[in-house]
Structure 1
Amino acid sequence: MEARSVERRREKPWEGEVYESTFPWLLEWRARTQPGRVAFRWKRYGIWRRYTWRDYYLRVAYAALALENLGLGPGDTGAFITFNRPSWVIYEVGVQLLGGRAMGIYRDSLSDEVGYLLDSGDAKFVLVEGQEQLDRVLDSGVDVDKIIVDEAKGLHQYRGMVGSKLVTFGDVMRLGRKLYSDGGDQQVKKLMGELEPDMVCGLFTTSGTTGLPKLAMISFKNMLAMAHQLNTVDPVREDWEYVSFLPTAWIGEQMMSIPYHMIGGFKVNFPETPHTLWRDFREIAPHFMFSPPRVWERIAKDIMARVDDADPIKRAAFRLAYKIGYEAARRRLVKGRSRPPTLWRALYYLAYWLALRAVLDKAGLKRIVRAYTGGAMIGEDYVIFYHSLGVNLKQIYGQTEVAGIAVVHPDDDVRPDTVGKPLPLTEVKIAEDGEILMRSPAMMKGYYKNEEATAKTIVDGWLRTGDVGVLTEDGHLKVLDRAKEIIILSDGTKVAPQVIQNKLKFSPYIGEAAIVGSGKPYLAALVNIDFEIVSRWAERRRIPFTSYSDLSQKPEVLQLLKREIEKVNRRLPEKERIRRFVSLFKEFHPDDEEMTRTRKLRRMVIESRYAGLIEAIYSGDEEYELTVTMKLEDGRRVQVTRRVKIIDVEG
């Protein structure tokens, strides 16, 4: 086994079946052939520190030797709860070098969620960022063998645990370096020889929109097959920059920062802190970017807000340039022309260099060659908006169960109403009931310790996605919504709420919206304002307010939301129009189980929690006294009661 593995490990990653490999093999290959080339950078104390591929490989070797010395072995689970920093990828690949499984937990997870995942994944070790995450592990009630702390501040409070259960990441690296210098390099080679592409390298949490998240068992081969397919469609260059800032537990960040990075060889950049993220992002100005819709929505709304705050001349210049860009994008994306007429290309060139590029520079997007959005459907308006500015925004469709990606838009065939075409080694078909089925070498091996769920999800070699969609004649996939979330009105009309929600969220003033109406004669909406944008709007009009709760119920804000919803209604078929809405005095939040950690709405929870309010909407009431239970960060629950207005919408 060792000779065959070493031979395969030395193959070039772009020749043959690259996905018949492992992360440690590819890392060793890059460290051997490109030892001095920069693999990633981390901003520390205001300075970007560089790590070469050789540095990366040695640190992974140190981590593996130290973790093995501390008691982690093949088949064990090493969990992590941390922000985007080098310790995360070094620890993860180190666990995998030992034949173990890495498992990410979202950094903002509360103690009970942390406990559920540590227990479900049989975690033996866990890497935490600092004291906050350490406390959540300790409060979870799950006993793990070792807790490794990256930021050692405040550990004097845990003196009784240091050395036995608690160890710093710095101590792990020092131990590993000593073991390596004492002949541990031979042990590293032995460990590499025992790896196989089909070994499970990680347990990845599903979104959990309809219940508790499951743990998908993903192998090296699964992850690398996905990255290989994406790199075939959208090849990256080794001199490109990427900024790692999405949750490290999310399959989307995992696929970009580890397998795609290993295959593509580009530079990964880790921000200094969450608070400096966007400043660091703009400083790097990456060449490609992958984010869920909520990030693209946030950037777009910030751009709109900055334009509104600009002086009249700049505002007029941008709006003229945007109008030209919009028409050029519409002609290319909506009318199906690969290239707009020469006149529009010339006008767009002037608009881009005179106004649009400056806006992209402020957002850190001026060097973007490809921009991906995935994890949920993004509104068509956002796709056209970004292409109007000159950003090549493309939809990705996939699930955790297929290592994140199955379908993507080709560069020359982007459409706002589809999610693109299947990747080269991926098959997609539509079942008789409209469900999307997929088959790919990136498909998971199953759910960890859940054979029943595995059998329901993988049927005859096809993955049942739970999404409803259609395939166009030319091979594009249209995703309508989750099968369980399709709303059926009292007259039998079927409505995909996600489509309408995305149109509502294109308004800079609407942060989130939940469409309701199952079994009812018409649709209604529960709306969250975008506090940052609406507060600035209110300040310009000298409308006093004290908090989100107060601002969301202001009569002027309710009228603003009414106008925005009426704009959307004018673009919708009659049966899909919103007749009434409520502006909630609290935001939908993962801590209240109304959203997943990736910010997808949990419709069943929302409809149950707001059942009384929904009934009042359809009873014709003009207001309702709403009581909600909110969960605080320390785990305490509080009840909040407030009267909310129910607003009728015209048109």
Structure 2
Amino acid sequence: MSLVNSSQTDTLPKLVKYNAATTPLGAGMREKTRGVWQTYSWAEYRDQVRDFALGLASHGFGRGDRLSVIGDNRPQLYFAQLAAQVLGGVSVPVYQDSIASELAFVLNHAETSVIVAEDQEQVDKALSLKDKLPLLRLIVFDDPRGLWAYDDPILRSFESVLEAGRVFGAANPSFYEAELTKGKADDTAMIAYTSGTTGTPKGAMLTHHNMIATAEAFIEVNDVKYGDNWLSYLPMAWVGDTTFTLGMALVARLTANCPENPETVQRDLRELGPNVMLAPPRIWESMLTQMQVKSVDATPFKRRIFDYFRGLAERCELDRSDGKSPSLADRLGLALGEVLVYGPVRDQLGLRNARWCYTGGAPLGPDTYRFFRSFGVNLKQVYGATEATALIACQADAETNPNTVGRPIPRIEIKIDDRGEVMLKGPNVFVGYFKQEEATRDTLTLDGWLKTGDAGFFDKQGHLVIVDRAKDVGKLSDGSAFAPQFIENKLKFSPFIREAVAFGDRRPFVAAMIAIDIQTVGSWAEKKGLAYTSYIDLSRKPEVAALIGAEIAKANATLPDIQQVKRYLLLNKELEADDAEMTRTRKVRRKFVAEKYVAVIEAFYGGQDQVDLTMDITFEDGRRSTINSTIAVHDMNGCAEASGRLRSGDV
């Protein structure tokens, strides 16, 4: 029977109690602290949630109140969210790298009364906003380092709230169970704020029923086992993290593992070797870049070995996708490659134990997708949305395809409307946006269909294909289709290109703004003896422009002529979420970017060979400054010759 249909397991906090009763000594959550993995058993997990919930109650937190968490992935921040839900409250995770103005909007809009912050940095942010948050009553911190001299009356340590909870529980022995029992499947569990690609973030209200039913549907079509290790490293405010670290982990009794800090994620990933993994395209692209750079830095002999077995693996992967079986010689080559290349690469990436990995949050380029699959990583695509509790469709092991996102998960109904927009109905669909009824009406039809805003279709095998955001799909001036993400993913396969923004809607050709990858381009420049002082200086080098032109030429070779990039420009800064150019989940805010860089677009299509730009930039502390510069606009004529001079072996 479905967990969500039982009154004993129909909320996330009830699942904590159920897991503690069923497998009290099983590993519920781990965190790495000072180089050592510390484990919370399911019984200890339950005790932390219970005591913190009672501590919140002793401070006046109750049904309908909102609790926000801010910081890196820490068990205490997950416990706090569940504790709030025990009392009928709602969790509101926020992005830890948000600047003060972004935090103020979300925390005010959500009517947050309690903030649980990871450390001094996040406490300072919260305290700086105190006067702007009239409902804020309590700030709780987990890591006490640097906070010994703080004496603000609303500040409490996590341990002190736990202790207050134990005292409150002793005086009110039946309180916790009574509050836990009051919880119902249709209660709002969390408010997940959207990434805000089209403007101000909206708060999607997700119920316990949404979270549990979505997890159960996903588990039905994936190899998920009790005790599987899951690395909780994605931003806690991203609905994908919550869906897995809380929803999936509680339903399937996975062990969620919190890395020591963001800088040690790769090392912790390799050390842990998780059984299952989800990562956005940016992570997979970074891993690919890492492997490409290591190949370039290797000795000529090792590079030749890597290139040979990589080519063999990718050719065999293409054959498999066409339904062809590899020849005996190819099978022997793959077996040798497993020993010499594929296995060691998976070990370096921390994926040696991974039975399946998913990419989601945005489209992943097919070349990157095939690279990992050819190296033995069971990488698959998943499609979702915040308003659909992160999951809508996914690929089965035997039905992987870089061009689709698979079939709908069980009990999800999908249809394509007459404008090509993907719509769905099912238990994963949210109940609406918090305090935004008009936006809710624009997104949810009266009969319960969710408008995703994505353009797509079903292929002959019944797999869902997502073309792009419906509002971003356009046409070139000759009527040819223009899907910018498809072109951008081609460009970002290059290790030297971190971000790309393609233009072309109602224009005669495609042009692109490129943000270089400072690490890989910087390493290349050092090998070439090119001195540089900063990102701006490096991006201005003619040699770097030629390098990127060669990389664009490679991408163009895989595109129809009409969709090939004809002109490009190297930005003098990275695209940043702090500057509103991207969301916190690394999605381009196209409308804002088109307005901010209107001078670049005019230069592209006006035939200019340079453009004067004055750009505002935002620092982490909220301070603003400007950059004034003249940037060259490059034509792709002659880039074939550049590609020959800068062939991959020389890079």
Q: Is 1:361 matched with 2:347?
A: yes
Corresponding residue number in structure 2 for 1:6: none
Structure 1 contact 235–264 (Cα < 8 Å) conserved: no
Corresponding residue number in structure 1 for 2:224: 236
Ranges of 4+ aligned residues in structure 1 off by more than 4 Å: 15-20, 339-343
Corresponding residue number in structure 1 for 2:412: 426
Structure 1 residue aligned with 2:467, among 476, 480, 483?
A: 480
- Equivalents in 2 of 1:605, 1:581: separation in Å? 19
- Equivalents in 1 of 2:336, 2:252: separation in Å? 34
What is the CA deviation profile of residues 363-399 of structure 1, one whole-angstrom value per residue up to 9, with x for unaligned ones? 1111111111111111111110100111011111010
Q: How much has 1:316 moved relative to structure 2?
A: 1.6
- Equivalents in 2 of 1:331, 1:341: separation in Å? 10
Q: SS of the residue aligned with 2:277?
A: strand
**Aligned counterparts, 1:206-225, within 5 A:** 206-225=194-213
Runs of 5+ unmatched residues, structure 2 = 641-651
- Equivalents in 2 of 1:367, 1:292: separation in Å? 19
Q: SS of the residue aligned with 1:627?
A: strand
Corresponding residue number in structure 1 for 2:648: none
Structure 2 residue aligned with 1:512, among 472, 475, 499?
A: 499
- Equivalents in 1 of 2:24, 2:341: separation in Å? 42
Structure 2 residue aligned with 1:72, among 61, 66, 71?
A: 61
Q: How much has 1:343 moved relative to structure 2?
A: 4.7
Q: How much has 1:157 moved relative to structure 2?
A: 4.5
- Quick one: structure 1 residues 327 and 18, their matched pair in 2 at CA, closer, same or farther if it must change by over 3 Å? farther
Q: SS of the residue aligned with 2:179?
A: helix
Corresponding residue number in structure 2 for 1:392: 378
- Equivalents in 2 of 1:405, 1:433: separation in Å? 23
Structure 2 residue aligned with 1:189, among 166, 177, 190?
A: 177
Q: Is 1:172 matched with 2:153?
A: no
Corresponding residue number in structure 1 for 2:330: 344
- Equivalents in 2 of 1:327, 1:491: separation in Å? 35
- Quick one: structure 1 residues 622 and 324, their matched pair in 2 at CA, closer, same or farther if it must change by over 3 Å? same
- Equivalents in 2 of 1:589, 1:19: separation in Å? 45
Corresponding residue number in structure 2 for 1:23: 12
Q: Which amino acid aligns with 2:82?
A: V
- Equivalents in 1 of 2:7, 2:540: separation in Å? 56
Structure 1 contact 65–184 (Cα < 8 Å) conserved: no
- Equivalents in 1 of 2:188, 2:242: separation in Å? 15
Q: Is 1:246 matched with 2:234?
A: yes
Corresponding residue number in structure 1 for 2:644: none
Q: SS of the residue aligned with 1:253?
A: helix
Identity across the alignment (%): 37
- Equivalents in 1 of 2:625, 2:578: separation in Å? 12
- Equivalents in 2 of 1:347, 1:458: separation in Å? 53
- Quick one: structure 1 residues 327 and 621, their matched pair in 2 at CA, closer, same or farther if it must change by over 3 Å? same
Structure 2 contact 68–107 (Cα < 8 Å) conserved: yes
What is the CA deviation profile of residues 384-441 of structure 1, one whole-angstrom value per residue up to 9, with x for unaligned ones? 0100111011111010001000100011100011111100111111110100111110
- Equivalents in 1 of 2:409, 2:285: separation in Å? 26
- Equivalents in 1 of 2:411, 2:384: separation in Å? 14
Structure 1 contact 18–225 (Cα < 8 Å) conserved: no
- Equivalents in 2 of 1:528, 1:244: separation in Å? 29
Q: Is 1:127 matched with 2:113?
A: no
What is the CA RMSD across the aligned residues, in angstroms? Answer: 1.7
Structure 1 contact 126–147 (Cα < 8 Å) conserved: yes
Structure 1 contact 19–220 (Cα < 8 Å) conserved: no
Q: How much has 1:16 moved relative to structure 2?
A: 6.9
TM-score computed with the length of structure 1 as normaliser: 0.95
**Aligned counterparts, 1:106-505, within 5 A:** 106-140=95-129, 141-143=132-134, 144-159=136-151, 161=152, 164-180=153-169, 182=170, 184-333=172-321, 335-336=322-323, 340-341=326-327, 343-459=329-445, 460-505=447-492
- Equivalents in 1 of 2:600, 2:203: separation in Å? 35
- Equivalents in 2 of 1:325, 1:477: separation in Å? 27
Q: SS of the residue aligned with 1:607?
A: helix
**Aligned counterparts, 1:546-625, within 5 A:** 546-625=533-612
- Equivalents in 2 of 1:58, 1:134: separation in Å? 25
- Equivalents in 2 of 1:372, 1:336: separation in Å? 22
- Equivalents in 2 of 1:118, 1:239: separation in Å? 35
Q: SS of the residue aligned with 1:190?
A: helix
Q: How much has 1:78 moved relative to structure 2?
A: 0.4
- Equivalents in 1 of 2:194, 2:187: separation in Å? 20
Q: SS of the residue aligned with 1:57?
A: helix
- Equivalents in 1 of 2:182, 2:330: separation in Å? 59
Runs of 5+ unmatched residues, structure 1 = 1-10
Structure 1 contact 594–601 (Cα < 8 Å) conserved: yes
Q: Which amino acid aligns with 2:390?
A: G
- Quick one: structure 1 residues 173 and 17, their matched pair in 2 at CA, closer, same or farther if it must change by over 3 Å? closer
Q: SS of the residue aligned with 2:374?
A: helix
Structure 2 contact 482–505 (Cα < 8 Å) conserved: no
Q: How much has 1:494 moved relative to structure 2?
A: 2.6
TM-score computed with the length of structure 2 as normaliser: 0.95
Q: How much has 1:156 moved relative to structure 2?
A: 4.1
Q: Which amino acid aligns with 1:484?
A: K
- Equivalents in 1 of 2:334, 2:161: separation in Å? 55
